[in-house]
Amino acid sequence: MPAPLTARHKALLLFVLALASLSLVSSKFFAILQDSSGTASFNIFDDAGNVLQRSSIHFIFPFPLIETTADPVHKQIYVIGYPKGVDGAALYVFDGELNLVSSDVSKAVQYFDLQYSAAQNTFYGIAVNGTYGRILSNFLTLGSNVSYRPIQALPFMWYVNASCYNSERDIYYALLNNFPHQPNSTTAQKLALGNFSSVHPSALFADLVFLSLGAPPVIHFISLSPLDEQLYGLAQCDNQTVAIVRIDYMGGSVAVYEAVGFASPYTTGAMHACASNCSSYVVYASLRHAVSGQRVFGGFGSHLWNFVPLQQYADTDVVAGTARLDW
């Protein structure tokens, strides 16, 4: 008959069990899918690509006019979009179980690319000022009566293609693209950095310079890793190769990026960097198989940066946006 456990052994066993339970905790993320008819659906996935919740709310929108951010303090998810048949910017607020909390339409003020600051309990993002004017702003109220405090106008004829937020330092990151199909349009990209940690928020804009060999790939999505505060991006190298890139601000008006890993045969999709309880992968991504067109979810590890498919779906839906759920 085994000897009874001493108090010290019991404490050690409880500690080991606690560690084991922590290792089994999976991170969650919210994803907006768009099917071939243009209809959006809203889902919560775990870090293996399994669906945990799915909302009953659906609407049609023109890609890519939709964006999302999450509020970990109140456990709410915000979706900004421009649904078909709706005159204005529509804001949908979901709780952590994807129940619809509210929905409002702003007709007077058009806005996009919201990011939530947990420390300040406020939103930062882009107010639309004319066809080609965009203003990085602090949003004071949302919904049907939007108000904002302008911080810095973006360079004229440039818009935010993707954004993310450093909640620890209150820094807003945005990937800027030039409006296409205009005289002197360029495929070059810029990085916007908004420092909102003080009572006098500021922003700067840096040219993105590619350090690796070959033609500069166009970055489509960005995400900040909370583990090391490193900014990553997903870029399309050719019609069958996706690169994960590391982005660094070098000071002045220069930011650099370099390819650290590749995925093939895929086309780029939405991404999110791992939360603090992730261990296997630094970045998760929802890509499309370049041959079948099917949606594939997987992760990039930090060692060889190979893309590891974790889930392949039967549909050809496009992942239009994601938000990591840190709760």
Model confidence at 203: pLDDT above 50: yes
Average pLDDT over residues 66-73: 95
Three-point CA angle 148, 150, 147, nearest 5°: 10
Q: Of 130, 125, 136, nearest to 157 (Cα)?
A: 130
Domain count, the chain: 1
Other CB atoms within a 10 A radius of the CB of residue 92 amount to 22
- For the stretch 123-130, contacts whose Cβ atoms lie closer than 8 Å and that sit 24 or more positions apart, written own/partner, are 123/69, 123/78, 124/151, 124/165, 124/172, 124/194, 124/196, 125/163, 126/154, 126/159, 126/160, 126/174, 129/153
Average pLDDT over residues 83-97: 96
- Is position 19 within any domain? no
Q: Of 248, 255, 246, 256, nearest to 205 (Cα)?
A: 255
- Is position 7 within any domain? no
**What does the pLDDT read at residue 13?**
33
Q: How confident is the model at residue 315 (pLDDT cuts 50, 70, 90)?
A: very high
Model confidence at 105: pLDDT above 50: yes
**What does the pLDDT read at residue 326?**
87
Average model confidence (pLDDT) for the chain?
Answer: 89
- Is position 6 within any domain? no
DSSP assigned state of 34: E
Model confidence at 284: pLDDT above 90: yes
- CATH of residue 66: 2.120.10.30
**What does the pLDDT read at residue 23?**
38
3-state secondary structure of 140: strand
pTM of the model: 0.88
- Is position 208 within any domain? yes
Other CB atoms within a 10 A radius of the CB of residue 35 amount to 14
**What does the pLDDT read at residue 303?**
78
Q: Of 117, 111, 99, nearest to 136 (Cα)?
A: 111
Three-point CA angle 26, 271, 57, nearest 5°: 80
Q: Residue 249's domain spans which residues?
A: 27-325
- Is position 16 within any domain? no
How many residues make up the chain in this entry? 327
- Is position 292 within any domain? yes
- Is position 18 within any domain? no
- Is position 247 within any domain? yes
